[in-house]
Every structure is written in C-alpha cells, then in structure tokens.
Amino acid sequence: MAGGRCGPQLTALLAAWVAAVAATAGPEQAALPAEQSRVQPMTASNWTLVMEGEWMLKFYAPWCPSCQQTDSEWETFAKNGEMLQISVGKVDVIQEPGLSGRFFVTTLPAFFHAKDGIFRRYRGPGIFEDLQNYILEKKWQSVEPLTGWKSPASLTMSGMAGLFSISGKIWHLHNYFTVTLGIPTWCSYVFFVIATLVFGLFMGLRIFLFLPSTEQNGRSEEAHRAEQLQDAEEEKDDSNEEENKDSLVDDEEEKEDLGDEDEAEEEEEEDNLAAGVDEERSEANDQGPPGEDSVTREEVEPEEAEEGISEKPCPADTEVVEDSLRQRKSQHADKGL
C-alpha cells in the first residue's frame, strides 16, 4: 500500500520540477539577444560612405532566389570584415532604385568593390572563400575600374539615378493601384498614359509662355551690348580724329618752322653776296681809273673765273684746262707789249 502511494507522489514531484526548470529556462533563452548582422544597409543618403576606404557592396532583391542563396555567405564575409580591414554593405534595389541606377545594375545579384572612390565590378561567385581571396590576394587590381561616365560619382550616373528613382516611384504607384486598391491593370496603364500627356502639355505650355520673354530679354541684352560696342567704336573714332588733327597741326607747324629757317638762310646768303660785291667795288675804286691795268685785270678776271670753274671738274681734265689758260695769258701778254 505504501509503495502504491509513493508512486503518484514521485511523478507529481518530477512533473513540478520539470515545469520549474522550463519556467526558469524560458526567460533566459528569451533574454539572449539575436546575433547582429555586420552587413551595413546602404541607401541614397549614406552611399557616399563608400567613397572612403575599402568596401564590398551587394545589390539584391528580396524576391530573387540567387540573392537568397548568397545571403549566408555574405553574412560570413561581413563577420570577417574586421580581419580583412574591409566594410561590407548591401543595397535593396526595390527600396533604392535610384542607387541601383547610379551603379547601373541590370542583373541580380551584383557585386562591386570600392577602394578610395574607385569602383570595380566583381563578377565572381558570391562564395565566402572566393570573396576572401579576392581581397587578400588583391585580385581587384587586375580588374578595369569604372571610369568616366560609368563611375557612380559622375554627373551622367547621377542623372541615371534620377531616372531610376522616377521609374521606381511609378512602379510602386502601379502596385498600389492594382494590389491595394484592386484597380484593373489596364486602368492603371490608361492613368499613366493620360498623366504623361498632361505633363507633356504642361511643359510645352510653360515653354511657349516663358520662352518669348527670355528671348526678348536676350534680344534686349544683345541690343544693349551692340549699343555699347557702337559707343565704344565712336569714341575710338573721335579719339583717332583728334589724334590725326593734332598730328596735322604739328606737321604744319614743323613745315612753317622749316620754311622760316630756309628764308633766314636765303637772306643770310643774299647779305653775304651783297657784302662781297661791295668789297669788290671798293677795291676797284682804290686802285684808280681804268686803264691798261684795268683791261688786263678784266681780262685776267675772266681767266681766274675760268680757273675757279675749271677746278670743279674731275682731276683728269685739270691739265688740259691749265694749258689753255697759259696760252691765253701768253697771248694777252703779247698784246700788251
């Protein structure tokens, strides 16, 4: 009887002990924090962080099966990021269509390597070992970087990001119409067609209204510039005319000065000639009345004049002239005798 009574009591005690252990273990297990992911989500607001340091980025979509297969490998690669001295990020193309357009992502999953703002496309498998060797062995150095307009930081890719963001908003709006509101798909398409036509008409009307004013402003500015140029040219012409007038006046004054100097020289020469004639006349009066001596002098004077004239020719003719003068002198001497 005692053994039969102890059996149920023992089972009750065991059940109570198991319940107490389960009650104490349950809160402890619930208190354990979930393992935090080392992969940093990238958005349009913080993507510029990849411009500094070394990064690996993964572009994925939640509905993509290939992206889901590489999630565990990517998490393991991110855990070893501190050892590899690299940061690991991921981009949801559904939530960030503009960022996917900036990198021009057309296939999923897509991987990119960034080193100090220089981007390269990683085309290997998304396996941890391959990713680790890609960083440790610096295989990215043999890959051609995205330069020029292909670089995510370029102006061209910034415009591409805007286009992708607009398309993403249109896609979300289409899903809202068809899924949330239950509108037929063709009604959504008609709505977007009408919206496109209205937007085009609005932009055309805006250009039609504001373009003439801008053209008039441009024409007025051009006319003002042309007037300024004409005024400047007229001022230049006036200044050139004044300079020409001044130069002409200066030339006339110089000519007048030169004419005065020439007249003064001519007057001096005339005075010298008159003085010489007076001296000759005075000498002739001192010598007495004209006679034979005067005749001889008159005859001699032409000879002396001829000598003076004969001295001007070249030295080759001087001997002939001297002989002729001697002959004339001898003839005059014979006549005087």
C-alpha to C-alpha distance for 197 and 231, rounded to whole angstroms = 50
Residues 168 and 103 in one domain: no
| Orientation of helix 71-79 relative to helix 128-136, angle to 10° | 40
Entry pTM: 0.49
**Residues 66 and 99 placed together within one structural domain of the fold:** yes
Say yes or no: 202 and 130 in one domain.
Answer: no
> Do 67 and 95 share a domain, yes or no?
yes
pLDDT given for residue 293 in this prediction: 43
115-140 pLDDT tens trace: 998 999 999 888 899 999 999 999 99
pLDDT tens-digit series, residues 226-251: 888 887 877 777 777 777 776 776 66
Whether residues 175 and 204 fall in one domain: yes
- Percent of the chain surpassing pLDDT 90: 21
- pLDDT exceeds cutoff 60 at 316: no
Interatomic CA distance for residues 56 and 87, integer angstroms? 6
Residue 141 lies in a domain: yes
Instruction: Find the mean pLDDT for residues 216-225.
Output: 70
Using the predicted structure, report yes or no on whether residue 275 has a pLDDT greater than 90.
Answer: no
126 in the same domain as 193 = no
Beta bridge partners of 118: 115
**Do residues 195 and 145 both lie within one domain?**
no
Q: Mark whether 6 is an active-site residue.
A: no
Average pLDDT over residues 313-321: 57
Summarize pLDDT for 170-214 with one digit per residue, the tens: 877 888 888 888 888 888 888 888 888 888 888 787 777 776 665
DSSP state of 37: P
Q: How many domains does the chain have?
A: 2
Span between the terminal Cα atoms of the chain, in Å: 218
Q: In this predicted structure, what is the pLDDT of residue 298?
A: 43
Residue range of the domain that includes 138: 40-150
Identify the pLDDT of residue 145: 92
Quick one: average pLDDT of 16-33?
48
CATH number of the structural domain spanning residue 73? 3.40.30.10
pLDDT band at 280 (very low <50, low <70, confident <90, very high): low
Region 298-323: mean pLDDT is 51
Average pLDDT over residues 74-81: 92
- Shared-domain flag, residues 63 and 144: yes
- In tens, the pLDDT along 134-175 reads 999 999 999 999 888 888 888 888 888 788 778 778 877 888
Instruction: Give the mean pLDDT of 95-110.
Output: 90
* Cα Rg of the chain (Å, integer): 60
108 vs 91: CA distance, rounded Å? 11
Nearest to 30 by CA among 22, 38, 19: 22
Residue at a domain's end among 191, 211, 231: 211
What's the pLDDT score for residue 211? 64
- Per DSSP, 50 falls in state G
**Structure-token pair, residue 139:** 């295989």
- Of 257 and 23, the structure prediction assigns the larger pLDDT to 257
E strand or H helix that includes residue 137? none
Q: Which two tokens stand for residue 136?
A: 């440790």
Q: Same domain for 123 and 50? A: yes
Instruction: Give yes or no: residues 61 and 82 share one domain.
Output: yes
Whether residue 113 contacts residue 50, with contact meaning beta carbons closer than 8 Å, is answered with no
Q: What is the pLDDT at residue 26?
A: 46
Name the residue type at position 9: Q
* 116 is a domain residue: yes
Same-domain status, 81 and 134? yes
Write down the pLDDT at residue 335: 56
- Kindly state whether residues 67 and 104 are assigned to the same domain: yes
Helix pair angle (155-175, 185-286), 10° resolution: 160
30 inside domain: no
DSSP state of 2: H
Q: Which residue has the tokens 């208190």?
A: 31
